[in-house]
């Protein structure tokens, strides 16, 4: 399914926020809120390495996963999750998972609020999934 014709409830244009992430070494989490397609500039670098247009973490050498919390800018019903990945040859088998926290007390281990179970992403393209979310 394609959800790109719906309102992007997490976009910075509507007040979306990225209040927390476990790592932002190469690129800040706020890049996830930007409208439009990701940009790749071949020869652009920062003091930390290659410039990235999306959210970019260090390579993980310990068990676990990277995470980022996104706060919707508008109330609404989550119909889908869209993830677009650009060239990264080291992470061809990344996964995405989405949870809906209706309040600040939602816990990571509480699976009642999973709107997208762990799903494989596709390198170098956009993927969309339907979400099983409640409105609020």
Q: Where are the domains of the chain?
A: 12-130
Q: What is the pTM of this model?
A: 0.76
- Select the CATH number that applies to the domain covering 12-130 from these four: 2.60.120.260, 3.30.110.30, 3.30.470.30, 3.20.10.10: 2.60.120.260
What b/e string do you get for 28-50 counting C-beta neighbours within 10 Å, with b at 16 or more?
A: ebebbbeeeeeeeeeeeeeeeee
Tens of pLDDT, residues 17-47: 999 999 888 888 998 899 877 777 889 988 8
The residue whose two tokens read 């979306």 is 16
Name which residue leads in pLDDT, 117 or 73: 73
- The CA distances from residue 27 to 54, 58, 86, in Å, are 6, 10, 14
Distance CA 1, CA 119 (A): 15
């Amino acid at each position: 399914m394609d959800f790109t014709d719906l309102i992007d409830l997490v976009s910075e244009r509507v007040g979306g926020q990225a209040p927390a992430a476990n790592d932002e070494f190469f690129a800040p989490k706020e890049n996830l809120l930007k409208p439009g397609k990701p940009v790749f500039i071949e020869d652009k670098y920062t003091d930390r390495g290659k410039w990235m247009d999306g959210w970019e973490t260090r390579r993980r050498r310990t068990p676990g996963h990277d995470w980022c919390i996104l706060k919707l800018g508008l109330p609404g019903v989550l119909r889908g999750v869209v993830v677009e990945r650009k060239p990264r040859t080291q992470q061809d088998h990344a996964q995405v998972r989405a949870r809906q926290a209706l309040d600040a007390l939602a816990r990571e281990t509480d699976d009642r609020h999973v709107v997208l179970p762990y799903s494989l992403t596709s390198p170098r393209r956009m993927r969309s999934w339907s979400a099983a979310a409640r409105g609020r």
